[in-house]
Amino acid sequence: MSLIKKNIHNITNELKKNNSQPDSAIRLVAVSKGQGQKKILEALNAGHNIFGENYVQEAIDKQKGLTDYKIEWHFIGPIQSNKCKLIAENFQWVQTVDRIKVADKLNMFNTDQTPLNICIQINISNEDTKSGVKIEEIDALADHISTLDKLKLRGLMAIPSNTSEDKILMNEYMQLKMIYENLKFRYSTIDTLSIGMSNDYLLAVENGSNLVRIGSKIFGSR
Ligand SMILES: *Cc1c(COP(=O)(O)O)cnc(C)c1O
């Protein structure tokens, strides 16, 4: 078995074991940024077909050689508004929407029949340097996105504080869960809480995440 196949297999099993809501599966996004097409092919051959990328041009270059495969592409990087057309045309999910202007442009440039799946990125650690909306801005952005017919609001994405202090982390997970449940109550399309990377995915799924974005633990270091 290839190492990538083995990694995906092990992570999938761990996710199943630690899922806090065992009646619904956890979505695994394999983050292939900084990795070559060969590694993506290895994952595809292992039966995995959900990938995440941070940089538009890098992603499009790789996608060109993979048109024979049915792949669900997630955009997970910061969004410059002049890249919205390319993002809307080449991805099925955008997890990092953090302002109305970007939502409007993605909506305008999605010419597909199927709506583009959207997560709002929250700046849960509330650091100025981090991307994402502030907690108090979520409702207005969610309301706006829900009126756009080429977008489907699926949920929230966050990167918790980079700390080993349990108290801080638990507080952030708890807040995310509350905001998520509140959105779910208001919009029937909400079903996704995207938290967890290579270093924290088990903790994230124990605390309610149902989508994890894992790169180095699958593909090795970048
Ligand atoms: C790079 C990246 C990941 C994956 O990180 P790993 O630590 O390699 O698993 C997940 N989410 C986002 C937003 C990223 O930029």
What pLDDT is stored for residue 164 in this prediction?
Answer: 86
The dihedrals phi and psi of 207, each to the nearest 5 degrees, come to: -105, 25
- Report angle CA 9, 38, 34 to the nearest 5 degrees: 90
Identify the DSSP state of 214.
E
Please list, in sequence order, all residues whose beta carbon lies within 8 angstroms of the beta carbon of residue 196, skipping any fewer than 6 positions away. Answer: 202, 203, 204, 205, 209, 211, 212, 213, 214
Per-residue pLDDT in tens (0 to 9) along the chain, 222 residues = 799 999 999 999 999 999 988 889 999 999 999 999 999 999 999 999 999 999 999 999 999 999 999 999 999 999 999 999 999 999 999 999 999 999 999 999 999 999 999 999 999 998 877 789 999 999 999 999 999 999 999 999 999 999 889 899 999 999 999 999 999 999 999 999 999 999 999 999 999 999 999 999 999 999
Question: How far apart are alpha carbons 61 and 40 in whole angstroms?
Answer: 13
Please list, in sequence order, all residues whose beta carbon lies within 8 angstroms of the beta carbon of residue 29, skipping any fewer than 6 positions away. Answer: 50, 51, 52, 74, 76, 194, 211, 212, 213, 214
Contact indicator for 146, 140 with CB cutoff of 8 Å: no
Report the top-level CATH class of 3-219. Answer: alpha beta
Of 56, 76, 123, 156, best ligand 1 pocket probe by most atoms within 8 Å of the beta carbon = 76
Instruction: Spell out the domain ranges in the chain.
Output: 3-219
- Report strand pairing: 50-53 vs 211-214: unpaired
* Alpha carbon separation from 23 to 16, 19, 20, 200 (Å, rounded): 10, 9, 9, 22
- Give me 167's structure tokens: 């108290």
Ligand 1 first shell, C-beta below 6 A: 31, 33, 54, 76, 159, 197-199, 213-217
Which ligand 1 atom sits closest to the C-alpha of 34? 1
